[in-house]
Amino acid sequence: MMSLRRLLAVFRKEVWQLKRDRLTIAMIFGIPIIQILLFGYAINTDIRAIPTVVLNQSHSQLSRDLLSDLQASQVIKLKGNVHHVEEIETLLRQGKISIGIVIPPDFERRLQDSSRAAAQLLVDGSDPIILGAAKQLTAMPFHLNSQSVPPQNRLFEVRHFYNPEKRSAMNTIPGLIGVILTMTMVIFTAISLVRERERGNLELLINTPITSNELMLGKMLPYIAIGFFQVTLIMLLGLVIFDVPVRGQLVDVYIAALVFIAANLTLGLLFSTLAKSQLQALQMTIFIMLPSILLSGFMFPFDGMPEAAQWIAEILPLTHFERLIRGIILRGADLSELWPELLALIAFASVTMLLALKRFRKRLD
Amino acid sequence: MNSTAAIKCHGLTRRFGDLVAVDHLDLTVPKQSIYGFLGPNGSGKSTTMRMLCGLLLPSAGEIEVLGLKLPEASEALKQRIGYMTQKFSLYDDLTVQENLRFMAQAYALPTNTQKSRIAETLAAYQLDELRHQLAGTLSGGQKQRLALAAATLHQPQLLFLDEPTSGVDPQSRRDLWEALFNLVDDGVTVLLSTHYMDEAERCHQLAILDHGRKAAEGVPAEMIANLDAWVVKIDNGSIPALKQHLAQAKEVISLSQMGGQLRLLVKKNIADPVTYVQQQLAGLSEIEIAQHAISLTEPTLEDVFVVATQKPRKMDAPK
């Protein structure tokens, strides 16, 4: 027999406990708000403002008209002019631009020639969304002031780099390294200190001569090894199953991974000093995991997001790691070309570690 | 600094918000002895002990432990003290031996002596056969032995034990006390807290804590001998009316029932307590008490505790 009174007793007890659980209440409100804002506003698959440079060898009025039309479309954002094709390739590899526009010296003549495209788009093809946007540009109507253009003329020829077969796995697999590390690493350390507290081990631990530094570092070390193992596993699976090669230096991959793993572990440690229970620590990691996956550029191109979202994304370690790992694995970039991202991760790890150490006291008060 | 004192503190105070957990406590714990804190829950035993370990900051007062000023030197102190927490705080998911190895390394015992020291400790606390068992699966008494083994592994000069025997069977308690006396023979000072009277009596010196204050201090036997009250027992004292009536008597400090016997603490200023009690009962027509049923008896530490804390504990829950 079900008793309404007993049912109510359980119900009321749950409400009482819930009222005192601020983080759960924050989740009740926070998750929908974050999700709605991220998906509805920040994430925009109508991509805009793709960073672009121009190599204009034509210097004609028509070429300037073409560039102003391209900018008017808002799909690209001109970052400047270059003088050699090699510069475009370098900038693409460094991840500073996604599109390079080459307007040849005989641009005006080519416009009249139906057998050849008038200009070239050099595109970072590793991201299918960027590639798709570039394709759309080729269908852009070009309003020539007074001259007539044969309708069959192709305005652009697209040359995509890094992913000739246009496989999305090329982009996803390296990106997944960062996502998987974020999902596992933060949790490992986030629960580690708070678990000691919950199980009553902390009082013993802080009464030993083990220092805060030794404790924190000692808790991180095993997970760095585990992180390396995960990185290796994902790269192997990517290579064997999806044929995703590592174009850059393997040692660069591991250096980038080391710094990124450290950043996640220190963030976890900071959570662990803030949380009162393991559940709270887990809730905190969810708050960092959601925006990381959505804003880092893993799922949607970074350049398509509004500025506010980009600022938030710049704080997240995953954003910087995605740039690093895609640069190294897909575009064969060298760490020396990507050092600002590495520096950002080192700064993040240092700040969170210092905060965690500041929060953690070998005391019970 | 008195070189024979392991712990000295003066005016030690700790507040938690409005609550004063420890209130101007002065203590001197002599070296190579067992010093006990006796007090009910919430009397400030654990808080005091944690401040003396350097785990809690005092709100006021001075502490000197093994010649080190606290809280400034609390890190330097850690290597020289052992601390057994009230709740079992070793790792449930590590084996006995793993726990001890962890502690040996935490205290940076020299690698060449670590193994022998652990083996020695395993033997001393009868943990040899349990070495590969997970700590979480040990019985209460075994856990207590492991906790003491872990706290003494690095051979501390001073040992803090916070209610070491709560929830442990009598045989294990006896074994623990034997181990403690052995440690004292080796030069160790022990500070322990308890709420068991029989255990408190075993200490070399005792402080009775009450609401964060020291209510009494001394050698247990002397404290009992110098009890500032008479202990009167009444056989056949189970009648509720009798208890109720005596509880009203002005000179009765407390009374408690032990089976069919009623035990009264009567103020020392009464010259003849037996007659006093008889007089108190004279007016009661419905109760008949034989003359010889009322007599003086030997005081116990519990009587000392009751007088010291002066609590209106007129009726104790039966033990």
pLDDT tens-digit map of A160-172: 888 777 777 788 8
Same domain, yes or no, for A129 and A201?
A: no
Please indicate whether, in this complex, the C-beta atoms of B78 and A203 are within 8 angstroms of each other. no
Task: Give just the sign of the alpha carbon dihedral B236, B240, B243, B245.
Answer: negative
In a domain, A31, yes or no: no
Q: For residue A338, what pLDDT is reported?
A: 92
Quick count: other Cβ atoms within 10 Å of Cβ B91? 18
Tell whether A216 and A261 lie within a shared domain: yes
Classify residue B277: in a domain, yes or no.
yes
Cβ contacts of A327 within 8 Å, gap of 6 or more: A93, A94, A95, A248, A333, A337, A338, A341
A212/chain B closest Cα distance in angstroms = 11
The answer on B159 and B110 residing in a single domain is yes
- With an 8 Å Cβ cutoff, is B143 touching chain A? no
pLDDT band at A70 (very low <50, low <70, confident <90, very high): confident
B317 in any annotated domain: no
Residue closest to A206 by CA, chosen among B89, B188, B61, B160: B89
Residue B158 lies in a domain: yes
Q: Taking CB atoms and an 8 Å limit, are A204 and B89 in contact across chains?
A: yes
Tell me, yes or no, whether B273 and B163 share the same domain: no
- Return the amino acid letter for B78: K
Domain boundary among B179, B196, B223: B223
* A296 within domain boundaries: yes
Q: Cβ of A208 and B92 within 8 Å? A: no
Residues A322 and A182 in one domain: yes
| Partners of residue A201 in chain B, C-beta under 8 Å | 89-91
Instruction: Tell me the C-alpha distance between B49 and B55, whole Å.
Output: 9
The pairing of beta strand B189-194 with beta strand B34-38 = parallel
Residue-wise pLDDT for A296-344, tens only, equals 988 888 887 888 888 999 999 999 999 999 999 988 999 999 999 999 9
Tell me if B176 is assigned to some domain: yes
| Mean per-residue pLDDT of chain B | 88
Q: Which of B84, B85, B158 best probes binding to A when mutated, by most A CB atoms within 10 angstroms?
A: B85
pLDDT of residue A149: 53
Any domain includes B315: no
- In this prediction, residue A125 carries a pLDDT of 83
CATH label of the domain that carries residue B277: 3.30.70.920
- Claim to verify: residue A257 and residue A218 sit in the same structural domain: yes
- The better pLDDT of the pair B92, A167 is held by B92
Residue A39 lies in a domain: no
Q: How confident is the model at residue B101 (pLDDT cuts 50, 70, 90)?
A: very high
Collapse the DSSP code of B82 into the 3-class scheme (helix H, G, I; strand E, B; otherwise coil) and give the result: strand
ipTM, 2 dp: 0.82
Q: Is residue B271 part of a domain?
A: yes
Of A140-154, B84-98, B102-116, B219-233, the range with the lowest mean pLDDT is: A140-154
Pair A204, A128 in one domain: no
Q: Supply the pLDDT for residue B315.
A: 41
Q: Is B83 on the interface with A (CB under 8 A)?
A: yes
* Domain membership flag for residue A117: yes
β-pair partners for B258:
B261
Contact A203 B55 (CB under 8 A): yes
Question: Do A104 and A245 sit in the same domain of this protein?
Answer: no
Those residues of chain A whose CB sits closer than 8 Å to some CB in chain B are: 199-211, 362-365
Question: Residue B5 is encoded by which pair of tokens?
Answer: 């004192």
User: Once rounded to an integer, what is the mean pLDDT over residues A116-140?
Assistant: 83
Question: What is the per-residue DSSP string for B146-215?
Answer: HHHHHHHTT--SEEEEESTTTT--HHHHHHHHHHHHHHHHTT-EEEEEES-HHHHTTSSEEEEEETTEEE
- With a cut of 60, say whether residue B319 has pLDDT above it: no
Please list, in sequence order, all residues whose beta carbon lies within 8 angstroms of the beta carbon of residue B88, skipping any fewer than 6 positions away.
Answer: A200, B135, B143, B144, B147
SS3 A1: coil
In a domain, A4, yes or no: no
Q: Is the pLDDT of residue B34 over 80?
A: yes
* Domain, as residue range, for A332: 169-359
CA distance A324 to A340: 10
The per-residue pLDDT for range B215-253, each reduced to its tens digit, is 999 999 999 998 888 898 888 766 777 777 788 888 888
pLDDT in tens, B181-224: 999 999 999 999 998 898 999 999 999 999 999 999 999 999 99
Question: How much is the pLDDT for A223?
Answer: 94
In this structure, the answer to whether residues B18 and B112 fall within a common structural domain is yes
Q: Can you tell me whether residue B134 is helix, strand or coil?
A: strand
Question: Do A64 and A125 lie in a common domain?
Answer: yes
CB A89 within 8 A of CB A133: no
Do B32 and B151 lie in one domain? The reply is yes
User: Is residue B211 situated within a structural domain?
Assistant: yes
Residues B149 and B242 in one domain: no
User: B171, B205, B223 — which closes off a domain?
Assistant: B223
**Closest CB to A365 among B57, B103, B106:** B57
Tell whether the model's pLDDT for residue A45 goes beyond 90.
no
Judged on CB neighbours under 10 Å (0-12, 13-18, 19+), B197 is middle
A30, pLDDT greater than 50: yes
Helix (H) / strand (E) element for A310: namely helix A307-315
Residues B269 and B208 in one domain: no
* Confidence category of residue A244, pLDDT binned at 50, 70, 90: confident
B102 and B126 assigned to the same domain? yes
| CA gap B319, B302 in Å, rounded | 12
- Examine the domain organization and report whether B172 and B27 are in the same domain: yes
Instruction: Give the closest residue to A66 by CA, choosing from A103, A109, A106, A110.
Output: A103
| Range in A194-198, B17-21, B155-159, B166-170 with the lowest mean pLDDT | B166-170
Q: Which of A161, A183, A212 is the last residue of a domain?
A: A161
- Residue B80: pLDDT band with limits 50, 70, 90: very high
Is residue B2 scored above 90 in pLDDT? no
pLDDT at B314 over 70: no
Residue the block writes with tokens 């970072």: A124
- Angle at the Cα of B53 (from B52 to B55), degrees rounded to 5? 110
Please indicate, yes or no, whether residues A128 and A72 belong to a single structural domain of this protein: yes
Q: What is the mean pLDDT of residues B269-294?
A: 77
| Listed residue (B220, B203, B211, B176) closest to B39, CA to CA | B211
A78: in domain: yes
Q: How far apart are CA A281 and CA A271, in angstroms?
A: 6
pLDDT of residue B312: 47
- Do B250 and B199 fall into the same domain? no
Domain final position from A161, A191, A217: A161
Cβ of A209 within 8 Å of Cβ of B79? The answer is: yes
One domain for residues B87 and B106: yes
Rounded to a whole number of angstroms, the distance from the CA of B135 to the nearest CA of chain A is 13
Residue B308 confidence class, pLDDT cut points 50, 70, 90: confident
My answer on whether B279 and B294 are in the same domain is yes
Of A137-151, A225-239, B163-177, highest mean pLDDT = A225-239
Please give the average per-residue pLDDT across B93-104, as a whole number. 94
User: Does residue A255 sit in the same domain as residue A188?
Assistant: yes
Amino acid at A89: E
Name the residue in chain A with its Cα closest to that of B91. Answer: A201
Rounded to an integer, the average pLDDT of A261-281 is 94
Structural domains counted in chain B: 2
Least-confidence region, from A231-240, B203-212, B268-277: B268-277
pLDDT score of B272 more than 90: no
pLDDT of residue B316: 43
Quick check: is A226 in a domain?
A: yes
Are residues B163 and B245 both part of a single domain?
no
| CB spacing of A199 vs B92 below 8 angstroms | yes
Residue B285: the pLDDT is 64
pLDDT reported for residue A297 = 87
Count the domains in chain A.
2
A247/A332 same-domain check: yes
User: A61-75, A335-349, B127-141 — which is least confidently predicted?
Assistant: A61-75
Contacts of B239 (CB under 8 A, 6+ apart): B287
Split at pLDDT 50, 70, 90, the class of A145 is low
Chain A neighbors of B74, CB-CB under 8 A: 362
A209 pLDDT exceeds 80?
A: yes
B94 in a structural domain: yes
Which residues of chain A have a CB within 8 Å of the CB of B79? 209
pLDDT of residue A59: 84
Higher pLDDT pick, B205 / A149: B205
Distance from CA of A328 to the nearest CA of B (A): 41
Under the banding of pLDDT at 50, 70 and 90, the label for residue A126 is: confident
Spatial contact of B187 and B32, defined as CB atoms under 8 Å apart: yes
For residue B201, what are the domain limits? Answer: 5-223
Shortest distance, CA B2 to any CA of chain A (angstroms): 26
What is residue B288's predicted lDDT score, i.e. its pLDDT? 67
- Identify whether A129 is part of a domain: yes
Task: Examine the fold and report which residue of B223, B248, B273 is the final residue of a domain before the chain moves on.
Answer: B223
Q: Which residue has better confidence, B245 or A175?
A: A175
| CATH code of the domain covering residue B11 | 3.40.50.300
**Res B84: pLDDT:** 94
Q: Domain check: are A147 and A126 in the same one?
A: yes
What pLDDT sits at residue A270?
Answer: 95
Q: Which of A115, A135, A161 is the last residue of a domain?
A: A161
